[in-house]
Structure 1
Amino acid sequence: MASKDESTPNNKVSKSRGNKRHASGSPSPTSSPSPLDKKEDMRSIIQEIIKAEFNDMLTQFNKNLISTMNNELETVNAEMKEMVKSMQFINKQFEDFERNQKISDETIHKLQLENSELKTTVANLSQRINNLEQQSRSNNIEVQCMPETKNENIYTIVKQLGKVVKCDIQEKDILNCSRIAKTNSSSTRPKSIVVQLASPRLRDQLLASVIKYNQNNQDNKLHCGHLGFAGKKSPVYVVEHLSPTNKALHAATRIKAKEMNYKYVWVRNSKIFTRKTDGAEYILIKNMSSLSKMV
């Protein structure tokens, strides 16, 4: 009888296989990831998430930036358009101003020419009027600084003047004589006597006789006592009867002569002359601008 294998506790054959040996050349079995690998994977995932979030944020920022810039640029463009309009308006205004200024300059230049012509015309007319006024006085003399009395007889004074200076003056030679109003009302000088004689020749003879008398009587020049005045013997001057213009010019010449130390100022045939010293050339004073020659 065949004997059966008897299973005994000590002789049990384990049905489970032990650890198999890794065959040479066969692929290695998958090993469990290490903690380091897990950390690296987690870092990569976080980086990807951050990168994605950053990209989203950057995209959104760019969108916002572009939108803001577009809005600002629209505002700037609008302002630039307004500035361009303003500049165009200002430029037009400037062109209008420049055009008006040019017209004004032309008008001013024209007015200046007209004014210059008018000044020349007025000066010529004034000179002609002055010449006519002076010509109307060609027979006249002016007796200055003769004291006034209440019941004076001017004809007698004039005839006495002729006698004193030895110039024969008949009553018929005196066409008119009277005192004239003062040029300066505040002056204390007596009113001048204007005498209209029969002719310019007689006037010149009387003036020459007065000059000669004063030259011959240096210590007793013509004064009011010679002409019948009993008071203080104040000097009396006999001069040509000048027109208002010439009289003002004569006064200005005397003032300038005093300032510039000119020795002589005189009038002959209604013309005003001045001389600085005895040997110097005389200067003819035709108008106010001629005073600049007195240096």
Structure 2
Amino acid sequence: MSQIQTSAKEVENTSMRNISTTRGNKRQAVGSPPVSPNAEDIVTRANIREIIEDVLKTELSRALSDFDDRMKVLLNKELQPINDKISGMEASLNFMNNQYEDLLKEHATSTEAVRELQKENSEMKTTMSSLKTRLEQLEQQTRSNNVEIQCLPEKKQENLFNIVSELSKTVGCSIENKDILHCTRVAKLNPEKNRPRSIIVQLASPRIRDQLLASVINFNKSNRDNKLNSMHLGFAGPKTSIYVTEHLSPTYKSLHASARLKAKELGYKFVWVRGGRIFMRKAEESEHIMVKNMDILKKLS
């Protein structure tokens, strides 16, 4: 601003000197019109004002331009680290965004794979359950000719074929020796129990097996006070009840035991086995229930 004021003063002094010396000592021509003594001064001052304004505008514009350039340089210098940091942050954000997009794609792929695996697992469970049921049924069918004699006392050098034949005669079922294919005692599930080992008898056909079972049931009904026991077969010692049942596979035997416990708990009067299938009935007038698995027992009330 001082430069601008100095330049303005110089212009003004120069103009004033020119005004004061211009035709100052010359006489006015004869017959010429009178001239106003302040006319030149008024015009000159207007010109000076214009000159001063022009100079001021020029100098101010130059000063502002210099100030603007200096400020730009200063700001660029000060802001350069910030710009560098922002550029680094943008690069990091772009990298993280790309990583996030990749993770989203991997997550979508994994989710779809898990969904497919869950579907396959569910199908496999259904298939395995079906195969398990069929295997258990087949295992039970292999025992369709067999009966199991429980609680029959053991003795040394016993002849199981003769014992089975004597039992059939006692209950009124005529079984020939050719109808008895195989007899054997099986190991106890719990060796610590004193209960005699059961006898598995393989008969010639399911029909003969059913005849023997029916004869045992009828015998017990006819002799409610003296059901089939060891004394009927000539065993000495305490009288021991003898039970003749269908030969169940381990799975169905466990299910039958659970059914008896459930019946005792809920007050069901009847639990029986027919053709390898387990049935329950709460009372004589009640509808029977076929127990296929443990889920059915859990639903009973």
Q: Please confirm whether the aligned pair reaches a TM-score higher than 0.5, indicating the same fold.
A: yes
User: Deviation at 1:190?
Assistant: 2.2
Structure 2 letter corresponding to 1:212: N
Aligned pairs for 1:32-111 within 5 A = 76-111=82-117
Cα distance change on mapping 1:121 and 1:235 into 2, 3 Å:
same
Structure 1 letter corresponding to 2:200: V
Cα distance change on mapping 1:68 and 1:157 into 2, 3 Å:
farther
Listed one character per residue, the Cα deviations across residues 192-212 of structure 1 (whole Å, up to 9, x for unaligned) are 111011221111111011111
User: Deviation at 1:252?
Assistant: 2.3
User: Deviation at 1:229?
Assistant: 2.5
> Does 2:158 align with 1:145?
no
Among residues 220, 223, 229, which one is paired with 2:226 in the alignment? 220
Listed one character per residue, the Cα deviations across residues 11-65 of structure 1 (whole Å, up to 9, x for unaligned) are xxxxxxxxxxxxxxxxxxxxxxxxxxxxxxxxxxxxxxxxxxxxxxxxxxxx9xx
Listed one character per residue, the Cα deviations across residues 93-146 of structure 1 (whole Å, up to 9, x for unaligned) are 332222222222211221222222222222222222222222221111001122
User: Deviation at 1:255?
Assistant: 2.5
> Does 2:296 align with 1:290?
yes
Distance in 1 (CA, whole Å) between partners of 2:93 and 2:151 is 77
User: Which residue of structure 1 aligns with residue 238 of structure 2?
Assistant: 232
What percentage of residue pairs aligned between the two structures are identical? 53
Unaligned stretches of 5+ residues in structure 2 = 1-69
Among residues 189, 201, 212, which one is paired with 1:206 in the alignment? 212
Distance in 1 (CA, whole Å) between partners of 2:92 and 2:155 is 85
Distance in 1 (CA, whole Å) between partners of 2:176 and 2:263 is 38
User: Deviation at 1:77?
Assistant: 4.6
Structure 2 letter corresponding to 1:137: R
> Does 2:123 align with 1:117?
yes
User: Deviation at 1:158?
Assistant: 0.7
Unaligned stretches of 5+ residues in structure 1 = 1-62
Matched residue of 1:284: which SS? strand
Structure 2 letter corresponding to 1:215: K
Q: Between 96-105 and 273-282, report the one with greater CA deviation.
A: 96-105
Distance in 2 (CA, whole Å) between partners of 1:280 and 1:248 is 25
Distance in 2 (CA, whole Å) between partners of 1:282 and 1:122 is 29
Please say if residues 271 and 286 of structure 1, whose CA atoms lie closer than 8 Å, have aligned partners that are also in contact. yes
User: Which residue of structure 1 aligns with residue 177 of structure 2?
Assistant: 171
User: Deviation at 1:170?
Assistant: 1.7
Q: CA RMSD in A?
A: 2.7
TM-score (norm 1): 0.69
Distance in 1 (CA, whole Å) between partners of 2:190 and 2:93 is 65
Please say if residues 155 and 177 of structure 1, whose CA atoms lie closer than 8 Å, have aligned partners that are also in contact. yes
User: Which residue of structure 1 aligns with residue 55 of structure 2?
Assistant: none
User: Deviation at 1:240?
Assistant: 0.5
Please say if residues 257 and 294 of structure 1, whose CA atoms lie closer than 8 Å, have aligned partners that are also in contact. no
Q: Between 201-210 and 90-99, report the one with greater CA deviation.
A: 90-99
Cα distance change on mapping 1:113 and 1:179 into 2, 3 Å:
same
Structure 1 letter corresponding to 2:205: S
Distance in 1 (CA, whole Å) between partners of 2:152 and 2:85 is 90
Cα distance change on mapping 1:86 and 1:219 into 2, 3 Å:
farther
User: Which residue of structure 2 aligns with residue 277 of structure 1?
Assistant: 283
Distance in 2 (CA, whole Å) between partners of 1:152 and 1:70 is 113
User: Deviation at 1:78?
Assistant: 4.5
User: Deviation at 1:175?
Assistant: 0.8
The number of aligned residues is 231
Larger radius of gyration: 1
> Does 2:132 align with 1:129?
no
Which structure shows the higher helix fraction? 2
User: Deviation at 1:284?
Assistant: 0.8
Distance in 2 (CA, whole Å) between partners of 1:222 and 1:86 is 90
Structure 1 letter corresponding to 2:294: M
Structure 2 letter corresponding to 1:129: L
User: Which residue of structure 1 aligns with residue 13 of structure 2?
Assistant: none
Cα distance change on mapping 1:291 and 1:91 into 2, 3 Å:
farther
